[in-house]
Amino acid sequence: MPTCRHCYGTYAREQFIHGNGPNSQVCVRCGVEMGLVTQEEAASLYDKSTTNARFSALARRWSPIMWLSVVWIAWTLYIKDVDPWGLYTLILLGVFTLLVPVYMFFLSSKHMAVMARLTPEYERPKGH
């Protein structure tokens, strides 16, 4: 995957503006910020609402793993010494640790559909 020569970000080829010279290897965000292209010419640039919606979709996708990690750390540091709640919590954590990957697997197609809906239409230019 190519790298932007201004921000050094690595993106898919669709996220770069087209052209030679100063437009070569410049991502759409840097191209718009530097005035190399207008926002209308950069078809793959996400506006603020689309960016926020995509971030929200990613946060919803990965939040079960984040919460599971936080609860495991809390159990390790505090809850394991409390009788009998340490054992009860350990059993629940074990069950949730086994169920979260299954849950994420079943909802992966929904996540992919949401991300596809939030991806702007892009038509690759000839020769690119």
- Same domain, residue pair 67 and 88: yes
Q: Does residue 7 lie within any of the structural domains?
A: yes
User: For residue 74, what pLDDT is reported?
Assistant: 95
User: For residue 18, what pLDDT is reported?
Assistant: 81
Distance separating the N- and C-terminal Cα atoms of the chain: 14
* The two structure tokens encoding residue 19: 């052209």
Q: Does residue 11 lie within any of the structural domains?
A: yes
Q: What letters, b where the CB count within 10 A reaches 16 and e where it falls short, cover 65-94?
A: eeebeebbeebeeebeeeeeeeeebeeebe
Quote the pTM value. 0.68
User: For residue 14, what pLDDT is reported?
Assistant: 81
Q: Give the number of other Cβ atoms within 10 Å of residue 122's Cβ.
A: 10
Q: Does residue 108 lie within any of the structural domains?
A: yes
Instruction: Please state the domain count of the chain.
Output: 2
- Same domain, residue pair 40 and 55: no
Give the mean pLDDT per block of 10 residues along the chain (128 residues): 88 83 88 88 80 93 96 94 92 97 96 89 62
User: For residue 42, what pLDDT is reported?
Assistant: 79
User: For residue 96, what pLDDT is reported?
Assistant: 97
